[in-house]
Structure 1
Amino acid sequence: MKIGFIGLGNVGGKLAGSLLRNGIDLTVRDLDPAAVRPLADAGAQVGESPAAMAASCDVVITCLPSPAASRAVLEAGDGVLDGLTPGTIWAEMSTTDEAEVRRLGALVAGKGGEPVDCPVSGGCHRAATGNIAIFAGGERAAFERLLPVLKAMGRRILHTGPLGSASVLKVVTNYLATANLVSLCEALATARMAGMDLNTTYEAIRISSGNSFVHETESQVILNGSRDINFTMDL
């Protein structure tokens, strides 16, 4: 199976790297040549255009920073829709809008393609190690065809129902993670004002009923001063 991957940013580049490490026949594309270079050096082919990739690949994956970017990659001249052939799977791994992924999915289906929305959850470090969670919404048959590809990128994979359902759940989980992060910031600030050592506070939370995935990952970058979680406010 030949895979095309468009969008090699904070998460996309790491997901594409997992595909390459697992021996997938991979073609990649990004507007930033610096993002393409490491994967090309590791053996990936470089796509001439989204249309050319759609014409030559069994699966086209998009992992882009916004619904507008996905719209442009699919609908602009020489976009995915221009090259799509019947039976090709479009896997939308961007964090996107349910209505927009359904709209684009209808255009893909109109060309005989099979749309699946496949947002991920777990952060860049899990994307880099192939241990990220993946939600997948779409027809069951398309999901089953895509599953070996998803397993090369993640370990916890859930078929969530029809197209768009995965995008809804991704936003819900982002909401929960953000609420958890805000409460952790309040807790750490309270502990500091009470004179507690924050490293000790971190460990106390980690072994307590107040622990969470967000605490174990994001609290570390708060305490080490970097505050860089490779995640945008838009998401």
Structure 2
Amino acid sequence: MRIGFVGLGNVGGKLCGSLLRNGHDVGVLDLDAQKRAAFAAKGAWVADSPAALMEACEAVITCLPSPAASAAVVEGENGLLTAMGPGKIWLEMSTTDEAEVKRLGAKVIAAGGAAVDCPVSGGCHRAATGNIAIFAGCTRETFERILPLLTTMGRRVLHTGDLGSASVLKVITNFLATANLISCAEALTVAKGAGMDLNTAFEAIRISSGNSFVHETESQVILNGSRDISFTMDLVLKDIGLFQEVADRAGVPLEMNPLMIEIFRDGIARFGEREFSPNIIKRLEEATGLSVLAPGFPPEMVDDEPEAPGYEVVPPR
């Protein structure tokens, strides 16, 4: 299968790298000329437009920073829809809105193609090694066609149901990750204020019922001081905003998420929208005068698991 990839950013570039590393024939497109050149040097070919990419490929993946960016690539001038037809597949790997992916997917399907929303979860360090988790919302027939691609880019692949279901689950998991980040920031700041040794505090949380994936990863770069997980405050705000929209459509009155939205709006107002998201702890550091740092932690996360073949995760029934 010849594959097109649109969006070579922090996550997309790593997913595309997994395809190239494993011998796939990949064409790329990105607004950044340096990124296009870098992937051409790795063996990718560069397309002139989304339409040209779709014309040349059986499947085109988009991994972009916003629903608006995806819409421009799919239905804009020289967009994917221009060359869409039977046998072709659009895979949306961005974190996007359920309603928007359904809207664009309906256009793809009307043009004879197939549509999949397949966002990823697990952090850039796992995207780099092909060990990230992938959700996929589509028909079962389409899922089985694309499973070899998904298991190249990810370790654990879950078929979530119809188109749009993966996007709902992705923003749910991002809501939980954000809640974990805020609670870890508060816990570590309280530990510092209470005079605890932060290396010991980190281990106490890690071996206890208070542990989480976010603590094991983001707490480390918080304590290092780099706060670098290749994810920024504006993207957090987008994701929890999408989660709020899902809740509103479902008629579920939330209490925590509206507060989290305000916390990140304040963080953006203070530190800028492109500030690394773990630096939300700076609000507490400034309020208390404390420096929540400790020696011995890495500046960025590296996946220490070797790349391994992916597989489908089957839910219990």
**TMscore range, shorter length:** over 0.9
- The residue aligned with 1:46 is 46
Structure 2 partner of 1:74 = 74
- The one-letter code sitting in structure 2 at the alignment partner of 1:9 is G
Paired residue for 2:122? Answer: 122
1:204 Cα deviation after fit? 1.6
Q: For structure 1, which runs of at least 5 residues remain unmatched after alignment?
A: none
- Superimposed CA distance per residue, residues 114-161 of structure 1 (whole angstroms, 9 cap, x where no aligned partner): 000000000100000100000000111001000000011001100000
2:70 corresponds to 1:37: no
The 2-side partners of 1:82 and 1:26 are apart by 20
What's the counterpart of residue 86 of structure 1?
Answer: 86
Corresponding residue number in structure 2 for 1:205 = 205
1:184-199 equivalence runs, <5 A: 184-199=184-199
Q: Distance in 2 between matches of 1:36 and 1:202?
A: 40
Deviates more, 1:192-201 or 1:116-125: 192-201
Aligned partners of 2:208, 2:37: CA distance in 1, in Å? 44
Give 2:208's aligned amino acid. S
Distance across 2 between alignment mates of 1:21 and 1:85: 29
String of CA shifts for 1:48-107, please: whole Å, max 9, x gaps.
Answer: 110011111011000000000000001111111111121101000000000000000000
TM-score scaled to structure 1, two decimals? Answer: 0.98
Residue 230 of structure 1: aligned partner: 230
How far apart, in 2, do the equivalents of 1:80 and 1:89 lie?
10
**C-alpha offsets along residues 167-199 of structure 1, whole Å, 9 cap, x if unaligned?**
000000000111111111111011001111212
Write the mapping of 1:108-187 to structure 2, written as runs, cut at 5 A. Answer: 108-187=108-187
Indicate the SS of the match to 1:27.
strand
Amino acid at match of 1:44: A
Partner Cα separation in structure 2 for residue 37 and residue 227 of structure 1 = 29
CA contact (8 A) 1:55 1:85 kept: no
Query: For residues 39 and 208 of structure 1, what CA distance do their matches in structure 2 show?
Result: 43
Alignment RMSD (CA, Å): 0.8
Structure 2: distance between partners of 1:205 and 1:36: 42
Q: Which residue of 2 aligns with 1:221?
A: 221
Which has the greater radius of gyration?
A: 2
TM-score of the two chains, using structure 2 as the length reference: 0.73
Q: What SS class does the counterpart of residue 152 from structure 1 fall into?
A: helix
Taking the aligned partners of 1:37 and 1:170, their CA distance within structure 2 comes to 31
Alignment deviations for residues 12-67 of structure 1 (CA, whole Å, 9 cap, x no partner): 00000000001011001100012222211010111111001111101100000000
> Using the alignment, how far apart are the partners of 2:131 and 2:11 within structure 1?
12
**Matched residue type, 1:168:** V
Indicate the residue corresponding to 2:16 in structure 1. 16
Q: In structure 2, how many angstroms separate the alpha carbons of the residues matched to 1:72 and 1:228? A: 30
The separation in 1 between residues aligned to 2:201 and 2:34, in whole angstroms, is 40
Segments of 4+ moved more than 6 angstroms: none
Local SS of the residue matching 1:229: coil
Residues 135 and 160 of structure 1 are in contact (CA less than 8 Å); yes or no, is this contact kept in structure 2?
yes
Structure 1 distance, partners of 2:29, 2:198, is 43
How far apart, CA to CA, are the structure 2 residues paired with 1:165 and 1:191?
Answer: 39
Measured in 1, the distance between the counterparts of 2:164 and 2:195 equals 47
Structure 2 letter corresponding to 1:123: G
* Counterpart code for 2:227: R
Aligned 8 A contact 1:62 1:93 in 2: yes
Write the letter of the residue equivalent to 2:128. Answer: A
Corresponding residue for 1:63? 63
Contact 1:67-1:100 at 8 Å conserved across structures: yes
